[in-house]
Structure 1
């Protein structure tokens, strides 16, 4: 065999009676950039006689793996390495076959092309296909928009939009830029958001404590779904300040919000909750109408409001959310407002006495309690108010016998009112005071 090959390489051919046939007239290969492809072609000689030969390639990237062949029929394996080639490259060359049946040329053409952009809808060939993908699988379309292959779509009529894409594709994952692109090329309309109400009206007398409500937002269309939530007043407290696709169930989202009654002022309270993004702005007006001035309902409501504010103020102080100085200053101001509303209100006067005792103005607190003694007859006022008065006398007096007597009295009242948690709370404090007194 080696002698035959050497003879052929020196141009000494023996064309006896045959010829060679090949399985392909020309090899046409399509590869991806960087792909390595192996294949083979078949050589068939005359049935009679010995066929021998060698195959070489004119292109260095086309390597002949099995260059020698012999027999009436044989195959030649090859390998092509597309490393370093890019989309659109075309390489042409020939396999040169030297044999005892003559010299032959088998041409090959290798074309380099990109892999098709596949999606859940199939291959994406143009921007129309991409817009359809965005409509049915928005997140998938966003990922494709920022992929390295997307720029291949800008061919033919779509080439005019490439500059728009280049200006928007530098922030991977940003859905808003995909929305802007589709809007700019006229492939979609902005997502439409529709609130269930444009104005909400409350009556102040219905908001004794913090009010809870919600706004339902409907959605139409596909694409970028994001809303920023803001308010123009402190008494409106939305549960979230940012809504995204995850907040929508189907095509609707419900946003709860709270009305902080401690932030409401006298008279008419106006506010708004705003939903916005770069393409839409919705303003929901909130109106809280006051009770009629001078009515019994209005006065009772105001008293209730002030009492709640005082309780919350004290709670924040006990939880160490406020300094003692801040609490004293705010509580004193609030008590002045209470007594200005009704200077004879029994509960307000007891709150004032409690405050004075707490800030070490015990004598001033005792003076108020002594002045109220004639008005505080058990059975003629609410039991919890009477127990509160008794509790305050223990803070002002510190007499062991008095504390024991008052503890027994409050305990007796509690047995008659076992469901009143306020009396139970006062009994606990007086009992602790009595235990401390005995320990001394």
Structure 2
């Protein structure tokens, strides 16, 4: 300012003015009826001197975001509202730009035009053009079909069309909705399918054979058909076909004929092609000669062979799990082996099996005779590898010298690496290979390798369970091998609690939801919970008996330790789980708000024992009498075991809920786990929301107060879930009066 005053004092009145440049000289706009147009232009100083200016419309039709400005470069934004205008109207005027660098006029010419949908450089202003686009590029048309431009251009001006459009968009498939829309507005024909042959006759193949069904469609458009079969031996190559499966208007559908699943004699089946418009059945007639099918006698023989082999394996496992004595194992195995010898007398492996059982039974006379017979009658060079290995194994069992055992182990080991069946050689190696018998880690790796190679024998799962039972810490990861073995061990009740505990710890660290792991955790939890429920009932029953006598005694401020322990054990009302059990066993808990105990319904035996209880004058006297006459006092070990089991099952529940919450599993079948976690006051982010979302929303079961208090403070429920929550609180307001108000 001082410099300007001094300049004027010297008589110098030069004023610097900006050189104004405007980006647009005029506007010629075509604006769709029913829309609001937004545009802009820039006012810029060419010599970098700030511009002071203002803008206004000569006809006040344009709405400016800002009327005045001071800037070296300023963007003038304006809009034109055509929402209530009709096509054909025109508006002319000019925009005045007044600045300290001069005044400018920008003329404009606005025409209101019919609405249209813009696709690349094309303007689609009628449904014929849209149908042409759909025929040319279906995906592009589907993208435009759901836009606001499409609705404004083709839908909003016709109530009937709008109703059709809105109802179709409510369907699951936008493609199907657009197909039906174009048909409804008569811009295309309905896509219908047909087959070149409605019946196909073919011969019985020796192995899986492919045939082809030709499907034709009558016009362009969207189609989605499900393919199924009503016969097990007819297998469609695709479960569904869409327009992408057609070349031109023809689709070649592959169908496979599986001879293994064909019933006896002449057979028929159908391939079914079904969509919302049609159901087409293509009959397939297949003839199979009777001679190709094994007769009933052969099928019975195969079934008996399979049953006998299963019986052998099961007897072995039961013996190893100490569920059969040695004599029972030998007897059962010999019966199965004799059956196998009768059906396949040419197979000497079964006779060796009988000799094996005789060795285990200590019948060495029969064993010696069999050895002599083999030495005299059998050419060992003609024996199979299995027979040689088994024979050598039996000799080592009888001789028991280290050299024979080592030779046998080497022979079996070579065949185990190169020959099939691997499971047979592995079973023999278990008892002669010192490395496998003495090193659990080596055996573990070998079992895992066999599993990865496709072996699926229960002996593998038994052996891994045996290893883990002896050393639970070897369970360090949960691959499909460990999961399958643990599942087998739990199903056959041959997995220790320690191993299950290690499994639970590892499962809790699993970041992703694994259905198999979850099923195992659920099985462990349910088994433990069934045991714990009975123990809780027993303990609650004792507490109720104690309360019966303690109610008549005046409360003393200084409680005896024994009284305090019992009181602490009953201070809470029973949970929903306990209530369910009380109904099952006829137990009714006492109301804490009432001074008198409600009448308790108990089984006859329990009621009789209560009636015979002596009238004691104090709770302490009752407690003393109870421990003396009511049974042996609970040992510290028993109480400790009970607490430990409760803690272990809480760990299982923690892992279950962690997996469910991470995977956002909200089906009602999972609600019981969320409910148990809430009742045990477990801390999970999102637990209370999952509790609400997994409830049966057709009922208004009582929600715990802790959940309501948390959700009242903070929640992420949507509107529908909140509506259910409020309705539930209102329905149960007698129980939640404070929260309700």
Give the TM-score of the pair, scaled to structure 1: 0.55
Residue-by-residue CA offset, 1:222-244 (whole Å, 9 max, x unaligned): 11121111222334332432222
Alignment of 1:261-272 (within 5 A): 261-272=259-270
Return 5+ residue gaps in structure 1 as ranges.
Answer: 1-25, 41-53, 68-76, 99-104, 292-297, 304-336, 377-385, 415-423
Determine the structure 1 residue equivalent to 2:198.
198
Determine the structure 2 residue equivalent to 1:396.
354
Change (3 A) 1:27 1:121: closer
- Are 1:210 and 1:259, in contact at CA under 8 Å, matched by a contact in 2? yes
- Are 1:121 and 1:133, in contact at CA under 8 Å, matched by a contact in 2? no
1:363 aligns with 2:334: yes
Determine the structure 1 residue equivalent to 2:149.
149
Q: Distance in 1 between matches of 2:428 and 2:108?
A: 106
Change (3 A) 1:122 1:172: farther
- Are 1:391 and 1:406, in contact at CA under 8 Å, matched by a contact in 2? no
Q: Distance in 1 between matches of 2:145 and 2:189?
A: 18
Measured after TM superposition, the shift of residue 160 of structure 1 is: 6.8
Determine the structure 2 residue equivalent to 1:283.
281
Aligned equivalent of 2:383, options 407, 410, 414: 410
SS at match of 2:348: helix
Alignment of 1:310-321 (within 5 A): none
Determine the structure 1 residue equivalent to 2:571.
none
Measured after TM superposition, the shift of residue 409 of structure 1 is: 3.4
Determine the structure 2 residue equivalent to 1:382.
none
Q: Distance in 1 between matches of 2:232 and 2:211?
A: 16
Question: Whose RCO is larger (CA < 8 A, sep 6+)?
Answer: 1
- Are 2:192 and 2:218, in contact at CA under 8 Å, matched by a contact in 1? yes
Change (3 A) 1:261 1:137: same
Measured after TM superposition, the shift of residue 161 of structure 1 is: 4.3
User: Whose strand fraction is larger, Structure 1's or Structure 2's?
Assistant: 1
Measured after TM superposition, the shift of residue 275 of structure 1 is: 0.9
Determine the structure 1 residue equivalent to 2:185.
185
Alignment of 1:176-255 (within 5 A): 176-204=176-204, 206-207=205-206, 209-255=207-253
- Are 2:221 and 2:243, in contact at CA under 8 Å, matched by a contact in 1? no
- Are 2:115 and 2:125, in contact at CA under 8 Å, matched by a contact in 1? no
Task: After superposing the two structures, state which structure 1 stretch, 264-273 or 351-360, moved more.
Answer: 351-360
Q: Distance in 2 between matches of 1:27 and 1:245?
A: 46
Determine the structure 1 residue equivalent to 2:175.
175
Determine the structure 2 residue equivalent to 1:20.
none
- Are 1:87 and 1:112, in contact at CA under 8 Å, matched by a contact in 2? no
Measured after TM superposition, the shift of residue 283 of structure 1 is: 0.9
RMSD value over aligned CA atoms? 5.0
Measured after TM superposition, the shift of residue 274 of structure 1 is: 0.8
SS at match of 1:130: helix
Return 5+ residue gaps in structure 2 as ranges.
Answer: 1-25, 44-53, 99-104, 316-331, 360-366, 388-418, 435-741
Q: Distance in 1 between matches of 2:277 and 2:56?
A: 65
Determine the structure 2 residue equivalent to 1:82.
79
- Are 2:116 and 2:153, in contact at CA under 8 Å, matched by a contact in 1? no
- Are 1:33 and 1:112, in contact at CA under 8 Å, matched by a contact in 2? no
Determine the structure 2 residue equivalent to 1:33.
36
1:131 aligns with 2:123: no
- Are 1:267 and 1:290, in contact at CA under 8 Å, matched by a contact in 2? yes
Q: Distance in 1 between matches of 2:230 and 2:28?
A: 70
- Are 2:233 and 2:262, in contact at CA under 8 Å, matched by a contact in 1? yes
Change (3 A) 1:92 1:171: farther
1:425 aligns with 2:425: no
- Select the structure of larger CA radius of gyration: 1
Measured after TM superposition, the shift of residue 114 of structure 1 is: 7.6
Measured after TM superposition, the shift of residue 174 of structure 1 is: 1.0
- Are 1:407 and 1:431, in contact at CA under 8 Å, matched by a contact in 2? no
Determine the structure 1 residue equivalent to 2:480.
none
Give the TM-score of the pair, scaled to structure 2: 0.35
SS at match of 1:140: helix
- Are 2:219 and 2:249, in contact at CA under 8 Å, matched by a contact in 1? no
Q: Distance in 2 between matches of 1:81 and 1:96?
A: 13
Change (3 A) 1:431 1:36: closer
Task: After superposing the two structures, state which structure 1 stretch, 144-153 or 27-36, moved more.
Answer: 27-36
- Are 1:369 and 1:393, in contact at CA under 8 Å, matched by a contact in 2? no
Measured after TM superposition, the shift of residue 266 of structure 1 is: 3.2
- Are 2:235 and 2:255, in contact at CA under 8 Å, matched by a contact in 1? yes
Measured after TM superposition, the shift of residue 126 of structure 1 is: 0.7
Q: Distance in 2 between matches of 1:27 and 1:120?
A: 23
SS at match of 1:82: strand
Determine the structure 2 residue equivalent to 1:302.
294
Change (3 A) 1:55 1:152: closer
User: Whose helix fraction is larger, Structure 1's or Structure 2's?
Assistant: 2
Q: Distance in 1 between matches of 2:340 and 2:106?
A: 117
